[in-house]
Amino acid sequence: MNSKLSLNYFYNLMYQFLAIALPIVTVPYVSRTLGASALGEYYYIAAVVSYFNIVAILGTTDYGQREIAKRQGNKEARSKLFWDIFYFRSICTSITLIVYVLFIFIFPSRHHVLLIINFLSFASWIFDVSWYFQGMENFKVTAIRNGLVKILATILIFILIRKPSDVALYTFVYVIAGLIGNLTMIPYLKDELVFKKFQLTDIFSHVKGILGLFLPVVAIQLYTVLNRVMLGALSSSTQVSYFSQIMTIINLSLSIMSAFVGVLTPHIANIYSKGLRQEIKKLSKLAINFVYLLGLPMMLGCLVCGSIFVPVFFGYQYKPSIPILYILSSLFIILGFGQVLGGFLISTDRQGSYTVAVSLAAVANLILNFVFLIIFHKGAVGVSISTIVSETIATGVQMYYLRNILDMTNFITGFFRYGLISLISILPIGLLILLTGLSSLIKLILIIIFAVLAYFLILILLKDRAFNYILGPIVKKFYKGYKYKENE
């Protein structure tokens, strides 16, 4: 089990990383080429389109992944479920597309080009079957096929994007990459499934379960995407760009944890259906340590070198984003736990509790956004504070609902263990390099290289259990001499 979970994590990490590689790897280039205003417009429209996305797919992604995981060993049952969800998703997406066309006519004309380009997104949503392969715990398909398409798209960005007016072309490349990437997964379904005819009554028999996971998706969108929409409407596109660029970096780093959650969720759903409760408790302890293992050094790294990272990575016009990075750096822990705990709630059929947690966070975020944007005029800084508070509420409520399987003392011991290792690894090295007369770029590269090497060397020397359990099989895949305990 350990080896399978770890290798699936490796493949899903590739998938999660490459899924946002297009807007990430190109960030230093497009930040300077498109500029804060044009890039802010892109993020604004992307946020608007994402609302149509959540209505089009409802809760089919999480529901499909969980239910497929329960039917892994029954080809007939999982085929029936797949086609029911596929047909349901196609119907919802088609209806949403009609509403989207009408919406364009009432939206300001200066955004029409970007909105029209996003017609392709609707086709992409229909043919996204990654949820099926994730439910089957087969992450290799989504990682390799979809990943290659996104790498090609990233190359096209560097070739085609030359000036601020190319924001439409930038949008097109991003959208078409998503569509082609999803289409490449379709051929792999041939040997996995048997075809089932369209049966309306069977399709809508899943509505209750799907809607149960749709409500938390809506709530999450309210305090994530709505941040950008409110910034664009109540502040400026430049402020949207400041906030979005930092969140892009946060999300890239969090993709390492998201990949783990993506692997863990169907795995927990599978063992939960078999009644293996002790195994779930064991995995909860592992998950807590893993969030600290990755989140604490990320947070400390942002605090140590954030002032040189922002100008080097984004350009000097983004220096106002530095305090935003400092504020949002705590998301590595808060949101990391939120993702992990949310995965446990969904996998164990407690989506009602998950909905309560994210709904409370959404209400808090909405109220705080109005306060900071309208009363105090704090722009992206205010929205950043709202984000931290809302995510803390969501995570706290989820911890309460999972108190019967969580070892609360592990939250304390894990914090001090990985916090101390992070301080020893990053702080002395970071401060020493910062005091040198080297260029900012060289300083940043040296800090990252030496801090990461020092951190993982300490974990290996201490024979850290979380590191060995999750990353041990991956390391051994590339270095046969590495030894780890399979059953730890």
Instruction: Please write the tens of the pLDDT for every residue from 325-370.
Output: 999 999 999 999 999 999 899 888 898 899 999 999 999 999 999 9
Nearest to 293 by CA among 281, 285, 302: 285
| Per-residue pLDDT band at 383 (split at 50, 70, 90) | very high
Residue-level pLDDT at 487: 44
192-196's contacts with Cβ under 8 Å and 24+ in sequence apart are: 192/75, 192/132, 192/136, 193/75, 193/78, 193/79, 193/82, 193/83, 194/75, 194/76, 194/79, 195/79, 195/83, 196/79, 196/80, 196/82, 196/83, 196/84
pTM for the whole structure: 0.76
pLDDT in tens, 209-233: 888 888 887 777 766 777 888 888 8
Q: How far, in Å, CA of 62 to CA of 73, rounded?
A: 19
Please, are residues 299 and 427 in contact by the beta-carbon 8 Å criterion?
no
Judged by average pLDDT, the poorest of 58-67, 195-204, 231-240, 479-488 is: 479-488
| Per-residue pLDDT band at 1 (split at 50, 70, 90) | very low
The count of other CB atoms within 10 Å of the CB of residue 471 is 21
The count of other CB atoms within 10 Å of the CB of residue 218 is 17
Residue-level pLDDT at 488: 44
Question: Number of helices and strands (H, E) in the chain?
Answer: 23, 0
**Mean pLDDT in residue range 452-475:** 83
Q: Quote the tokens at residue 212.
A: 């149960």
pLDDT in tens, 431-443: 888 888 899 999 9
Q: Say whether pLDDT at 479 is over 80.
A: no
The DSSP annotation for 384-440 comes to HHHHHHHHHHHHHHHHHHTTTT--HHHHHHHHHHHHHHHHHHHHHHHHHHHTSSS-H
Residue-level pLDDT at 233: 83
CA distances 452 to 142, 310, 457, 458, 477, Å, are 28, 19, 8, 10, 20
Close Cβ partners of 383 (under 8 Å, ≥ 6 residues apart): 227, 230, 231, 243, 369, 372, 373
Q: How far, in Å, CA of 284 to CA of 271, rounded?
A: 13
The position carrying tokens 């709904």 is 359
**Mean pLDDT in residue range 108-117:** 86
